[in-house]
Structure 1
Amino acid sequence: MADKGGRGRLLFFPLPLQGHVTPMLQLAEIFYSKGFSITIIHTRYNSPNPSSYPNFTFLPISDGFSEKKTSELSIFALASILNVNCLDPFKDCLTDLLSGESKVHTTCLISDTVLHFTREVAESFKLPRFVLRTSGVGVFRAFAAIPLLREKGYLPIQASRLEEPVPELPPLRVKDLPVINVPNAEMFYQLIAGLVNEARTSSGVIFNSFEELEQSAVAAVRQEFPTPIFPVGPFHQYFPSASSSLVQPDETSISWLDKQAPKSVIYVSFGSIAAVKENEFLEIAWGLANCKHPFLWVIRPGSIHGSQWLESLPSGFLDMVGERGHIVKWAPQLEVLAHPAVGAFWTHNGWNSTLESICAGVPMICMPCFTDQFVIARYVTHVWKVGVQLDNGLERKTIVEVIRKLMDNEEGEEIRNRVVDFKEKANVSLRHGGSSHGTLENLISCISSS
């Protein structure tokens, strides 16, 4: 293992979900390139592959989970249990690590905001703690406003008010607020309040975003929030990165794309967690069949309620679409989005996917599934105007109309031009003199002096 360590050692602790592990490891790579030694502390559940990161030290800790148990948990139940189960193992890990220090001094901990227990442990070791917020600045602002939204009666959401604007959080409507339908709503509110509090009590909040994309949200959070914030993204654009995917991607995606015309393909992927109902899956299938455009469709095993994989496809579907469609279990997304054949990305609007699409200059078809994705989709369609939203349910006829609007019409060309403009702004932000470049230098100074 190569170990720079000239600027000290940084500890990183990601939440063990794909959308959180990916940006944390990308951030660790950025800091490694700046002369820091990197140690990743992680749960055994969904642990990253150390062989992909030979320059990092990986320290697994016990999480008290069995595989069967985790498969039955919601994200929020998983996070709540981790915050209890990991406190003592994390404390033991830090005790061993810090007592054995010799040449490399540990400078600080960077943890996911959802891992509340890390604050108590870091404070007991007098270790400065920064947090990574793995969604956008606008989403964070909406989360921070939840107590106010409850007080003003926007939450819990009432069906009769879905289309009402929320003047406290433009451009959001009531239906865009970042909540999720869970049996215990209070547990969700507590988790979000904890997330915001962990950011508030940290030495600084790091965002995988850039100022030119979220200018008004960044300005608002800086005004409303006591803790320094550091939008230093897009992380994946700093340099070609080793894959942090917890699933092996299907490389046939690229060889299939190589045979398609420029900007002709719809890439369809709903991320590592989102799942659809069987009737929705059928409408998606018929929409893709009827739109006449080639499509690369990621169908993750288990992503359709009640199905293992492709058994819910309409009879004869694969023969009907033939070579025009290519279905895989997982795709190398950054390579796919960068491919000249891809003309649109039908996405669930997870933050990583949205940012990757913008940085590749690919317009989006938005189908948010839960929580922060509704906020992000609203920003995509009504602030940045780099996509169109599939709203009010999924019907094959509407799907075809939306695809044609984006792929074949003048409006789609205007959307494409705007997303290409944001792609260039993202590139400029990382160059010397750019906003993210300067903010990263400030963050390094802050960490080095903490």
Structure 2
Amino acid sequence: MDQHIGVLTFPFTCHPQTLLGLVHRLAFAAPHTKFSFSITNSNAFLFSTRSVDGLNNVKPYDVADEVPEGHLLSGNLEEVVGFFLKGAVGNFRQAMEVAVADTARKISYLVTYAFLWFGADVAEEMGVPWVPFWIAGLSALSVHFHTDAIRQKIGLNGHEDQTLDFIPGLSAMRVRDLPEGIVSGDLDSSPSRMPHKMGLLLPRATAVIANTFEELNPIVATDLKSKLPKLPCLAPSTPSSQPASNPDTSSCLSWLDKQKAKIVAYISFGNILSPSPHELVALTEALEATGKNLPKGFLEMRSGKGKVVPWAPQMQVLKHPSVGVHVTHSGWNSVMDSIAGEVPMICRPFFADNSHNCRAVEDVWGIGVGIEGGVFTKSGLVSALEQVLLGEGKKMREKIGVLKELCRKADEPNGSSSQNFNTLLELVTNFQMDSSAN
């Protein structure tokens, strides 16, 4: 029987793009399977700018963001997430009902972004398996899976230097590296409740898809595989690669062609948060002091030393031979892009898994450094730039090369990622649904 996969996404930051990348990959491999992708108006552009030739088995279905008409948003992510979650379950159900009527096929699998914990109950009501997709690293997933154990062991607001050595594979992580909502901050906020509920419900999943490869965190992978039904880890397919319909309109690559090898600092902090104004001043002063990249004035790029653009083809930029360092918020996709481009990182974390990833970059893998004190200062960034561009950069690139090779091998026909994808593909295309379901 041809299958019909319902896809529920979390419509914020890079989550829809990353999940859509996975869906595209599955859709190519299973052309007779229908994929109904729930999406809000704010992300509808994904289906106009990321069209794929010959791929006609993926279709978007509208869900409301529940922001009241005329309401002026404050810009706080928690506010818009709160609005969305209020009606999410009902809106998703309605979207899937429309998809079933449209395709004349009952839903046979429910693939959701992992934070949407209620996917477990919705799938159970529909009589179908639940397959959550985790877009970040395994260490961060382990933290959320073990949240109650961490709270019991450390207590709320525990000492920030205490390590998580009681969790397999997390001995390098400290309390200070944990996102708010684990042992600090508002534990009742939406950003805190979502991952906590997810961690509690993951054992109910038929499989948990992870956007990584096992060899990057082998101890954590082994631990989680022993506690979850299935954990197919797929070598990341990040959303930052340049879409065919969105060319390099700012001429980033041609500008990079004119620069010397390994001297350019590529600076990007994702699409949600950015440093404070005084940090941006410190950032500019540090870059000017190194004699590279950005001149005084920052936005007045007249000296040819730097370039500021609203969007850049990140993967192509990081693979360019002139780029010597990536100054980043250390979001998971950006870390994976840096590994693929073999570019060391300077990490300035903001929220969520950023600090956790920064710790791994610096102390687990040795492929970058964190900003001293966690915020940009002129002296701190100058020191970090000198360390990467003039000091340990070569060793860091060698270590990144080892990780990149592990990823390449995982993606070979007999590699772990390829085998996991085949397992997942067989799982979602061969399910025999009870005829009384839905």
Q: Could you state the TM-score of these two structures normalised by the residue count of structure 2?
A: 0.87
Aligned to 1:285: 284
Answering whether residue 330 of structure 2 is matched by residue 349 of structure 1, we say: yes
Q: Partners of 1:69 and 1:275 in 2: how far apart?
A: 24
Q: What residue identity is the alignment partner of 1:37?
A: K
Q: Partners of 2:255 and 2:10 in 1: how far apart?
A: 34
Asked if the contact 1:14–1:42 (Cα under 8 Å) also holds between the matched residues in 2, the reply is: yes
Deviations 1:19-40 (A, max 9, x none): 2112101101110221243321
Aligned to 2:22: 27
Q: What residue identity is the alignment partner of 1:108?
A: Y
Q: Partners of 1:152 and 1:96 in 2: how far apart?
A: 47
2:303 is paired with a residue whose SS is helix
Answering whether residue 139 of structure 2 is matched by residue 138 of structure 1, we say: yes
Asked if the contact 1:107–1:128 (Cα under 8 Å) also holds between the matched residues in 2, the reply is: yes
Asked if the contact 1:15–1:21 (Cα under 8 Å) also holds between the matched residues in 2, the reply is: yes
- The change in CA–CA distance for 1:341 and 1:65 in structure 2 (over 3 A counts) is same
Q: Which runs of 5+ in 2 are unaligned?
A: 432-438
Query: Paired residues, what number?
Result: 418
Superposition RMSD on alpha carbons, in Å?
Answer: 2.8
CA offset at residue 193 of structure 1? 1.4
Aligned to 2:353: 372
2:369 is paired with a residue whose SS is strand
Deviations 1:378-412 (A, max 9, x none): 11111111111112132111211111111112x22
Q: What residue identity is the alignment partner of 2:216?
A: L
Query: Which of 386, 401, 417 matches 1:404?
Result: 386
Q: Partners of 2:69 and 2:243 in 1: how far apart?
A: 26
Asked if the contact 2:67–2:80 (Cα under 8 Å) also holds between the matched residues in 1, the reply is: no
Query: Which of 224, 235, 239 matches 1:221?
Result: 224
Q: What residue identity is the alignment partner of 1:97?
A: A
1:322 is paired with a residue whose SS is coil
Asked if the contact 1:150–1:156 (Cα under 8 Å) also holds between the matched residues in 2, the reply is: no
Q: Partners of 1:46 and 1:99 in 2: how far apart?
A: 23
- The change in CA–CA distance for 1:318 and 1:40 in structure 2 (over 3 A counts) is closer
- The change in CA–CA distance for 1:76 and 1:143 in structure 2 (over 3 A counts) is farther
Aligned to 1:302: none
Q: Partners of 1:82 and 1:408 in 2: how far apart?
A: 47
Q: What residue identity is the alignment partner of 1:414?
A: K
Aligned to 2:421: 440
- The change in CA–CA distance for 1:241 and 1:438 in structure 2 (over 3 A counts) is farther
Aligned to 1:197: 200
Asked if the contact 2:207–2:228 (Cα under 8 Å) also holds between the matched residues in 1, the reply is: no
1:131 is paired with a residue whose SS is strand
Q: What residue identity is the alignment partner of 1:148?
A: A
| Structure 1 segment 4-153 matched on structure 2, within 5 A | 8-35=3-30, 36-51=33-48, 52-54=50-52, 55=55, 56-66=58-68, 69=71, 71-72=73-74, 74-102=76-104, 106-153=107-154
Which range moves more in the overlay, 55-64 or 130-139? 55-64
Aligned to 2:164: 166
Deviations 1:136-172 (A, max 9, x none): 1100101222222222234325xxx323323223111
Asked if the contact 1:83–1:117 (Cα under 8 Å) also holds between the matched residues in 2, the reply is: no
Asked if the contact 1:16–1:47 (Cα under 8 Å) also holds between the matched residues in 2, the reply is: no
Asked if the contact 1:45–1:65 (Cα under 8 Å) also holds between the matched residues in 2, the reply is: no
Q: Partners of 1:68 and 1:193 in 2: how far apart?
A: 32
Q: What residue identity is the alignment partner of 1:270?
A: F
- The change in CA–CA distance for 1:440 and 1:69 in structure 2 (over 3 A counts) is farther
Asked if the contact 1:76–1:191 (Cα under 8 Å) also holds between the matched residues in 2, the reply is: no
CA offset at residue 236 of structure 1? 4.0
1:328 is paired with a residue whose SS is coil
Deviations 1:114-146 (A, max 9, x none): 223333333222232211111111001012222
1:340 is paired with a residue whose SS is coil
Q: Partners of 1:150 and 1:387 in 2: how far apart?
A: 30
Answering whether residue 410 of structure 2 is matched by residue 429 of structure 1, we say: yes
CA offset at residue 365 of structure 1? 0.8
| Structure 1 segment 236-315 matched on structure 2, within 5 A | 236=238, 242=243, 250-294=249-293
- The change in CA–CA distance for 1:356 and 1:244 in structure 2 (over 3 A counts) is farther
Q: Partners of 1:170 and 1:369 in 2: how far apart?
A: 22
Q: Which runs of 5+ in 1 are unaligned?
A: 1-5, 296-312
Q: Partners of 1:347 and 1:240 in 2: how far apart?
A: 16
Q: What residue identity is the alignment partner of 1:34?
A: A
1:354 is paired with a residue whose SS is helix
Q: Partners of 2:112 and 2:88 in 1: how far apart?
A: 13
Query: Which of 358, 361, 376 matches 1:394?
Result: 376
- The change in CA–CA distance for 1:284 and 1:183 in structure 2 (over 3 A counts) is same
- The change in CA–CA distance for 1:226 and 1:424 in structure 2 (over 3 A counts) is closer
Answering whether residue 311 of structure 2 is matched by residue 330 of structure 1, we say: yes
Q: What residue identity is the alignment partner of 1:146?
A: T
Identity %: 24
Q: Partners of 1:68 and 1:252 in 2: how far apart?
A: 38
Q: Partners of 2:317 and 2:298 in 1: how far apart?
A: 24
Deviations 1:392-437 (A, max 9, x none): 132111211111111112x221111111121122112111111100
- The change in CA–CA distance for 1:70 and 1:108 in structure 2 (over 3 A counts) is farther
